[in-house]
Chain A
Amino acid sequence: MVQFFRFTMVRAALAFFTLCLVSFIVFSLMELVPGDCAERYLAFKNSQGAQISIADIEAERSRLGLDRPYLERWTSWIFNAFQGEFGDSCILRLDIGQLLGQKVWLSVGICLGSLLVAYAIAIPVGIIAATSRNPYLNNGLRLVSYLGLALPNFLLALIIMLFSTVVFGDSLTGLFSPEYRDAPWNWDKIKDFLGHVWLPVFILGWSATAFAIQTVRALMSDEISKLYVTAASARGVSGRRLLMRYPARHALSPIINSLGFDLNRIFNELPIVALILTLTEAGSLLIEALARSNDQQLAGAIIFFLTGTIVAINFITDIVLALIDPRIRRSILGS
């Protein structure tokens, strides 16, 4: 128990260290881009008609604390970031936490949903594909997984939009119907939300599913030809019971390990799919922050948050794996 606790602590420390490193990279990149928050805000003011001088910029800079040394600013940024405080956005002058609010949770929810859907499809299909000798099934699946790679999610989204516009006359965009957009959460809104959310979940899950099927199949076919499976079937275990109790358990633990990176891939697609399907409630805020206003404070916060989610998932999967996989548990306990 103590050892397990120590293992958890070490993992947590590692995750924390990774986050610090990531925050340093993100922060440095945000610093490297030309112009800072003060200039940007005052340029924005200037475009609104106010007269701006160099002295104003300097005053704004010292008000925002931008004249302090680099490392000091990074330390204070990271301290605040861990408390969920990202400061004010450059242009909008609003608290970033408030600005992102439920949008972030909606986006993360959609991504996790797609991940769930992807594996809910991929695990049974992958196992069947590995065990079946049916050439049509295997070639069909191979084609699907190639397509999953060659048809990136945003092209798929475009094609679905094209198709639905031509056939149904409705482009299936948005997350809520207009009448529910600003309404408080209630049963009707949830129903409306579920009626819209399946499409982004499907589109985001599309290439993840293709990848996952490929992985599950490869892992399963590796395991299935091993001796312990033959031994088990010689003892008279057969059918689904054989698959579930022996090779599937072994094959699936590496998959748990790679969940974090699958989530990474889905996050990659989110902003663009969100833009196409006009999900203003989700990832397209990032594009807005970047393309329209060059808001580095907001962009940094979003990227940090996304990465934080991935690091958290990686941490959780490590712990879960240690709990359910006796091989790993033993290597930790060192017995």
Chain B
Amino acid sequence: MTENNIYDASVDQDAKDAYFTASQGQLIWTRFKKQKAAMFGAWVLVLLILSGVFAPFLTPYDPTIAGRDKDYLNGAPTIPQFCDDNGCSMRPFIYAVERERSIQTNFRWVTTVDTDKRLYVKFFVEGSPYKLFGMNFSTRLFGLDDGFIHLFGTDSTGKDIFSRTFQAINTSLAVGTIGVFISFVLALIIGGISGFYGGWVDSFIQMVTDAVRTIPAIPLFMALAAFIPDTWSAEERFFFISVLLGFIGWPTLARRVRTHLLTERNQEYVLAAQLCGASSGHVIRKHLLPSFTSYIIVDLVISFPYMVLSETALSFIGLGLKDPVNSLGVMLQNVTSADVLLNYQWYFIPVIFFIVLVMAFVFVGDGLRDAADPYGDTKK
């Protein structure tokens, strides 16, 4: 009995020791792990990021016009299957399609599915070459020896929507990363100056920040993006758009940095450092910044989906990215026509991926925010 008690106490002590000596990062991670929704979101997010990064390997074709299937325009998805009327096979297969134009079809192109001709799906096939991390590869995860496979169908020029979707995830993540990074640096500098010096500098900067915040971002953004010269290449556009997103996104974060600094700079440990003769830069870098790194990370995760969504909206109306750069907005450009709405609904498949991507970010951001709140446990 007593032995048991001692044993329990020591375990308890260990747990306490672990708790009190844990670093901020460990504490956040422990709290984060407890939230099922956030953990699930995190897994989905990791999966999506990986699939974005390895998009060329996972997809069978080049997402640009180079990889188009010129015999299967606006084609419906071809779903691999194992069985049909002619029996089953261990290896999944799709049917061959044929496109013809003759007097029987009234001289229009008509695509017919030939259910007798099977095309077997192979894995690790040699496809068109691509670059990954600066190296050249040509092995694709799956594909056909002969003919084309289109899991999500094709668009009006015969580009594979499956390949484009994965490429688009990659693009959106890149745009988001650049945008978030730029707005982060701006917010840190502007909010930092405002919060650290206080006084009239603070009042003035806050006035400007508030003025910037009242301007509706997307209309302004459209106004700026509309004036990109047509002669710019797709890559230049891509870079410019990401930078613009960053320049418009900073005020919210800057405000938060400022508020935090204003409360922190009057704390005793800052005074102590100043009394020891530390310079402003040293105090900011060594004492103030570490005190709210976790909040900043959380804010960055939360603001990420907004960047992605702004880019999508902008590209959608034709002022953002353009072909051959793929993004969800670019892919959705022509879907409002009645033709697409009535006949080619597979154009909307990428939307699902993006809702999942944004949801994953929101879940993770929310979970991180709760986990980073040091009083989260004691509140309830």
Residues in A lying within 8 Å of B, measured CB to CB: 17-18, 21-22, 25-26, 29-30, 33-35, 146-147, 149-152, 154-155, 158-159, 161-162, 165-166, 171, 260-261, 264, 267-272, 275-276, 286-287, 290-291, 294, 296, 299-300, 302-303, 306-307, 310-311, 314
- Find chain B residues with CB under 8 A from A296 CB: 223, 227
Most chain B CB within 10 A, of A152, A166, A300, A311, is at A152
Task: Determine if B220 and A150 form an interchain contact, defined as CB atoms under 8 angstroms apart.
Answer: no
Task: Determine if A287 and B222 form an interchain contact, defined as CB atoms under 8 angstroms apart.
Answer: yes
Query: Is B4 an interface position by the 8 A CB rule?
Result: no
State whether A307 and B223 are in contact (beta carbons under 8 Å apart), knowing that A151-B355, A161-B336, A162-B345 are contacts in the complex: no
State whether A152 and B309 are in contact (beta carbons under 8 Å apart), knowing that A29-B220, A269-B218 are contacts in the complex: yes
Query: Is B192 an interface position by the 8 A CB rule?
Result: no
Query: Is B110 an interface position by the 8 A CB rule?
Result: no
CB contact between B211 and one of A25, A33, A34, A149 (< 8 Å): that residue: A25
Most chain B CB within 10 A, of A30, A171, A268, is at A268
Give 7 pairs: A residue, B residue, CB < 8 Å, sorted on A: A21-B207, A25-B215, A158-B335, A260-B214, A267-B218, A268-B219, A303-B215
State whether A271 and B219 are in contact (beta carbons under 8 Å apart), knowing that A18-B210, A161-B341 are contacts in the complex: yes
State whether A302 and B336 are in contact (beta carbons under 8 Å apart), knowing that A22-B214, A161-B341 are contacts in the complex: no
**Shortest Cβ distance from residue A130 to the other chain B in the assembled complex, whole angstroms:** 15
CB contact between B362 and one of A21, A146, A161, A303 (< 8 Å): that residue: A146
Taken together as a complex, chains A and B put the C-alpha atoms of A104 and B81 apart, in Å, by 54
CB contact between B208 and one of A21, A152, A154 (< 8 Å): that residue: A21
Stretch at the interface among B141-149, B266-274, B311-319: B311-319
Task: Determine if B348 and A158 form an interchain contact, defined as CB atoms under 8 angstroms apart.
Answer: yes
Task: Determine if B332 and A158 form an interchain contact, defined as CB atoms under 8 angstroms apart.
Answer: yes
CB contact between B338 and one of A33, A34, A154, A165 (< 8 Å): that residue: A165
Task: Determine if B341 and A272 form an interchain contact, defined as CB atoms under 8 angstroms apart.
Answer: no
Question: Told that A149-B305, A268-B219 touch, could you supply 10 new A-B pairs with CB distance under 8 A?
Answer: A25-B212, A29-B220, A150-B355, A165-B342, A272-B317, A294-B226, A294-B227, A296-B223, A300-B223, A303-B215
- Find chain B residues with CB under 8 A from A264 CB: 213-214, 216
Taken together as a complex, chains A and B put the C-alpha atoms of A257 and B355 apart, in Å, by 31
Task: Determine if A291 and B219 form an interchain contact, defined as CB atoms under 8 angstroms apart.
Answer: no
Task: Determine if A21 and B211 form an interchain contact, defined as CB atoms under 8 angstroms apart.
Answer: yes
Q: How many residues of B contact A (CB 8 A)?
A: 42
CB contact between A299 and one of B210, B223, B336, B362 (< 8 Å): that residue: B223
- Find chain B residues with CB under 8 A from A155 CB: 351, 354-355
State whether A171 and B219 are in contact (beta carbons under 8 Å apart), knowing that A146-B359, A150-B362 are contacts in the complex: no
- Find chain A residues with CB under 8 A from B342 CB: 165-166
State whether A34 and B219 are in contact (beta carbons under 8 Å apart), knowing that A152-B309, A154-B313, A275-B317 are contacts in the complex: no
**Shortest Cβ distance from residue B219 to the other chain A in the assembled complex, whole angstroms:** 5
**Shortest Cβ distance from residue B297 to the other chain A in the assembled complex, whole angstroms:** 19
Query: Is B11 an interface position by the 8 A CB rule?
Result: no
- Complex: chain A residue closest to B342, CB-CB: A165
Most chain A CB within 10 A, of B215, B317, B332, B359, is at B215
- Complex: chain B residue closest to A276, CB-CB: B336
- Complex: chain B residue closest to A165, CB-CB: B341
Taken together as a complex, chains A and B put the C-alpha atoms of A22 and B212 apart, in Å, by 7
- Complex: chain B residue closest to A268, CB-CB: B218
Taken together as a complex, chains A and B put the C-alpha atoms of A152 and B362 apart, in Å, by 13
Task: Determine if A158 and B351 form an interchain contact, defined as CB atoms under 8 angstroms apart.
Answer: yes
Task: Determine if B216 and A306 form an interchain contact, defined as CB atoms under 8 angstroms apart.
Answer: yes
State whether A314 and B214 are in contact (beta carbons under 8 Å apart), knowing that A149-B305, A303-B219 are contacts in the complex: yes
